[in-house]
Structure 1
Amino acid sequence: MELGSDLNAGEITIAQYLKDVGYQTGMSGKWHIGKEPKAAGFDFSVFFKSNGTYYGRQINDEGIVRKVEEHCDLYCAERSVDFIKEAVKKEAPFFLFHNTQLPHMNGDLIWDARKETKERYEVSEMPVAANRLDDLSGKPEYLKSVRNLSQAKVYGYPDEQAIQKHTRDYYAVITEMDEYLGLLFQTIEDLGLKENTYVFFMSDNGWMLGEHGFTSKVLPYRPSTRVPLFVIGPNLKPLDLDQMVVNIDIAPTILEMAGVLLPDNLHGKSLLPLLKQETVNWRSSFVYEGLGTYGGALPNLTVINKDFRYIETFENGTLEKVIFQEFYDQNNDALEVNNLMGSAAVKSKVGEAQKLINAHKNRILKQ
């Protein structure tokens, strides 16, 4: 599925499942599906498509398109608050799908935070990736011309101070995202909803800030594929989990929390047993799909677990011909610099990973 395309015929969204059992459903913020939110099961929708300028954005507010002068994320947060308040008035359970533009860049590919927000961070104190000078030996040749590298050079990478300044700007827009999301958390507090409201926070991708000399995302390395996730709500005790959790696990978790019988065709698993600290048989690995070719990337499938990362890169436009393989020891080489392919010590693990990829690839090709 590409950005802007419709769901497959017959696909039922989480909003539709929840709406069918009496939930008020709302979405606010960035929207990447071809059909509009109302057609995807949302009663309330305030949205913009793709990325772009932070200010003066064209936003579709309940069917009326208007130019909004304030920050698009601030406006959408305010409208999400309106949705929550209206649901409370109706004494109805609600589901809100709130998406932010931040920390994505603006239309000029910069993090355009306010001056006073940037000043909260000292450039000299920003971290710098230890593998920023990676010569990319042991990695596919296409990476030497991929947009992740060429755009990084535009930002001044791999110069240490350039990376620190860029990282400062990244921290600043995340801080502003926190500020706008704070309106939602404050509303939940003010309306006395903490005892019956669950909040899921996650990102759709990681980001590279000089690792291997790269910027941006889409590549199959740890900084690009690993994302933050937290869940807060009633009867959940503070804890850190290190299980292999994937974005496809969010929908079944929310549906189970809402008492919806889980459909057999869902790909993910409910996180509820993990959140309740129950003993459960959980996945030890998963296959990451890097099927897009954005910025010159080549299609890849990657097996990720706690011990290793195995990557197969395919010829452009097909999953038939493997043109490069990578194997990284996640315990001893977290920076993913030393490709161990060809080492007898990892031969059996490579074989295990290849079986997982072949099975996953067959499922993809049958769709």
Structure 2
Amino acid sequence: MKKYKIVVLVVAGLGMAGAATLAETKKPNILFIFADDMSYETIGAHGLLDIDTPHLDTLVEGGASFTHAYNMGAWGGAVCVASRKMLNTGLFVWRSQNADLGQCVGDGGMWSQRMGKAGYRTYMSGKWHVPTSAPKIFDVAKNVRPGMPNQVPSGYNRPKDEADYEQGWKPWDTTHNGYWKGGKHWSEVLADDSVEFLEQAAKDDQPFFMYLAFNAPHDPRQAPKEYIDRYPLDRIKVPENMLPEYPYAEEACGKGLRDEKLAPYPRTEYAVKVNRQEYFALITHMDDQIGKILEALEKTGQAENTYIFFSADHGLAVGHHGFIGKQNMYEHSMRPPFLMVGPGVKAGSRIDAPIYLQDVMPTALDLADAGTEGIDFQSLLPLVKGKTSKHYDAIYGAYMGNQRMVIKEGWKLIAYPNIGIKRLYHLDKDPQEMNDLAASPEYATKLKQLSIELEKEMDAQDDPMSSIAAADFPKAPKKKK
């Protein structure tokens, strides 16, 4: 496996005193690498799945893994939009939904603009999916991509069986365009842009902020055939919590939701294995592109003064609990990976405190001495420096008016307000969320406690639903405190 100086030699040997010395000479560079639809479990070094991610594994070895990073949810089916708007404004989900991006841009309040005002040269390539112009708020922007590569009808409801697979859509078929549109796989284009940016930045006296956003591994999950071949179906295990159909699938997000139509109902072991095969292959292909970026960072001599962050906009089910998409409140879909590497970050460390992935924004601003006024999310530096072991009192999640979630002290409550259903899980003992305790008299007190906590979080988050019992999203104004 390739060993990068940035994570193995520099980061492992550089303490906070060394970080301070670097900061005195030049502000640290910020390299943010962002995936799309990538669950926390899909990095090989974490030991949860049989998947090849040697370059991300190197980041795990060289820095800190935040094991419980969450997306806060979404106000619509395109969870990516909500996640990325939160990320770039720094605002919690409902305040982000209501934020006037024209005003945010005009005030210079977007992440890249704040970095620019702090003296950074800002670069962007890849998926944007925020309803404002990336070229207007980054100094350099190339190959700005839409929410997803184009899908085709034959990419849905597949595969029904082996014969259907043989005759149907293939991930390496370039005639469907998708990631191949333009002649070169979009992940490879992003790697090329990133290398070019790093070479430019090496000639500049300004520190850099790079926002490098893969569309991968979002569907259509297309990768070169040699990557598919690395994952024969007998290597793929179906999730332990796989279901043919989630009992509240229609009420949670709708069986007709685009993401859920990628595989046929009822879910079968064969269909889930094929979808996971293509998912893993696209991740491994992306990982190789990340390797090119890390190598360029080292070659251009900028590694020692660079913080690298890797995460994704949310997770993805791909068979867990009978879901294929991310429009649910389960861990596989709410939690992306989150890695931080850089001066003073302890190599090979784990931080288990629950965070939000969007905490990367104020963390980068903290490192840049850029100020975090008006930001809802919290810097991770107190956790990284060992000054605290707790970050948020509770973790909140929401999906439109259909679902709400709260996590506190190892317990999770999921609520479906429209049908009056609640599900209770003890995550510390049941990480796969297979044992719903909501109907058990033994846990009635815990259910009540978390129900109160959820209402408290809904108030704190300016949730447009007045209460779970009212299920009035978005018909009634928010109740006043």
Q: Deviation at 1:364?
A: 2.9
Structure 2 residue runs of 5 or longer lacking an equivalent are 1-74, 86-96, 152-173, 465-477
In 2, Cα distance between the equivalents of 1:164 and 1:266?
A: 41
Amino acid of the structure 2 residue aligned with 1:89:
K
Q: Deviation at 1:335?
A: 2.6
Structure 1 residue runs of 5 or longer lacking an equivalent are 60-66, 292-297, 316-321
Structure 1 residues 145 and 260: CA distance shift in structure 2, 3 A: closer
User: 127, 133, 143: which is aligned to 2:237?
Assistant: 127
Q: Who is 2:110 aligned against?
A: 13
Q: TM-score if structure 2 supplies the norm length?
A: 0.64
Q: Who is 1:100 aligned against?
A: 214
Q: Who is 1:314 aligned against?
A: 417
Structure 1 residues 199 and 310: CA distance shift in structure 2, 3 A: same
Amino acid of the structure 2 residue aligned with 1:267:
D
SS at match of 1:334: coil
Q: TM-score if structure 1 supplies the norm length?
A: 0.83
Aligned positions of 1:165-314 closer than 5 A: 165-238=274-347, 239-263=349-373, 265-291=374-400, 299-314=402-417
Equivalent residues of 2:394, 2:406 under 8 A apart: yes
User: 132, 139, 143: which is aligned to 1:43?
Assistant: 139
In 1, Cα distance between the equivalents of 2:250 and 2:185?
A: 40
Q: Which of 139-148 and 117-126 deviates more?
A: 139-148
SS at match of 1:356: helix
Q: Who is 1:294 aligned against?
A: none
Equivalent residues of 2:397, 2:404 under 8 A apart: yes
SS at match of 1:234: coil
Q: Deviation at 1:103?
A: 0.4
Q: Deviation at 1:177?
A: 0.5
User: Can you list the C-alpha shifts for 1:80-129, whole angstroms capped at 9, x where unaligned?
Assistant: 222222222122101011110110112xxxx2211111112232021211
Q: CA RMSD in A?
A: 2.9
In 2, Cα distance between the equivalents of 1:150 and 1:14?
A: 32
In 1, Cα distance between the equivalents of 2:147 and 2:282?
A: 18
Q: Who is 1:360 aligned against?
A: 457
The alignment covers a number of residue pairs equal to 340
Equivalent residues of 2:437, 2:443 under 8 A apart: yes
In 1, Cα distance between the equivalents of 2:253 and 2:129?
A: 30
Amino acid of the structure 2 residue aligned with 1:21:
A
In 1, Cα distance between the equivalents of 2:386 and 2:244?
A: 40
In 1, Cα distance between the equivalents of 2:315 and 2:256?
A: 16
User: 162, 184, 188: which is aligned to 1:74?
Assistant: 188
SS at match of 1:212: coil
The higher relative CO (CA closer than 8 Å, separation ≥ 6) is in 2
Q: Deviation at 1:42?
A: 0.8
Identity of aligned residues (%): 26
Equivalent residues of 2:202, 2:302 under 8 A apart: no
